[in-house]
Amino acid sequence: MKKTGAILKITIPLILGVVLVLYSLSKISISEIFEYLKASDYGWIILGTLLGTLSHISRAYRWLFMAEPLGFKPKFANSFMSVYAAYLINFTIPRAGEVARASILTNYEKIPFEKTFGTIVAERIADTLMLLLIIAITLFLEFEFIFNYFSEKFNLQTLVFVTLAGIVLVVTLFIFIKKSQSKFALKVKNFVLGLIEGALSIFKMKKKWPFIFHTIFIWVMYVAMFYVTSFAIPQLGEVPLAAILIGFILASFSIAATNGGIGSFPEAVVLAFGIFALAEDPSRAFGWIMWASQTLMIILLGGLSLIYLPIYNKTAK
């Protein structure tokens, strides 16, 4: 049963990715994407890629603050290369990158695997909280627009019914999870408790403020990377900030849906930008160009990291 579950975890994102790639390319051909690329401003694409790289550098540096309380002083180079190697490996097997990153750091920094993996899980908790914060900020800033959009799509009675049904469902689930001893309930309970514990542990760190600064910086760079790259496509025109924020949120979830967001990333962009009546073809082209530029950088630096890691650690001794 466990083997079947593991196979499904690998195959479902791959199949979904292939289906979405085929769907996306049925809407816009590769030659059309290249036409948009030819007409684009490469300066903005390069700037977006550099901002993405800065976020990864910050991520690698942030991890050093987590290793220090464990009694270790790892090399920044190993942390940086492990980050890019992890991103690259995630393109083959979803979420395998975190395990690979922990293994790399264990191998070259001699930190016990369970401790290394624990710090990476804590990092993911911090990142999850940041994504939730961005969603909350987006809802706060664009509440009127979002409310009006759904009011137009659904009548007010339906909207009220769905909202109340959602509240009832959340309260029912909360009570069930709190009292139930089922495997599902315990998993959810442990996840939520882990989220809270991980968030609180950040404030107990010796260098909590530098850690928080880098966490914010990472996600500001993510949003900025998305925003500046939109300037590269002249056919898009001026993209509203609300479209950028909603597009970024949906694109972030798309990366978890398929291997590295293949196929799902451009379609998430189209879905978000469509809410603001932005043209479908330029939106889809932007999604592909944005995804491809970041992916090429990950393939390049991730591949070089895997090659150079043993060489660097052999000469660094």
Phi–psi pair at 213, nearest 5 degrees: -60, -50
Phi–psi pair at 207, nearest 5 degrees: -115, 55
Q: Which residues contact 74 (CB under 8 A, 6 or more apart)?
A: 63, 64, 67, 105, 109, 111
> How far apart are the two ends of the chain, measured CA to CA in Å?
45
The pLDDT score that the predictor gives to residue 47 is 96
Residues in the chain: 317
The pLDDT score that the predictor gives to residue 196 is 63
The pLDDT score that the predictor gives to residue 193 is 64
| Helix, strand, coil share (%) of the chain residues, nearest 5 | 85, 0, 15
What pTM does this model have? 0.84
The pLDDT score that the predictor gives to residue 247 is 92
The whole-number mean pLDDT for each consecutive block of 10 residues of the chain, a chain of 317 residues, reads: 63 84 90 93 95 95 85 89 92 81 89 82 86 90 73 64 74 72 70 60 75 93 95 89 91 87 92 90 94 94 92 80
Q: Are 41 and 234 in contact (CB under 8 A)?
A: yes
The pLDDT score that the predictor gives to residue 40 is 93
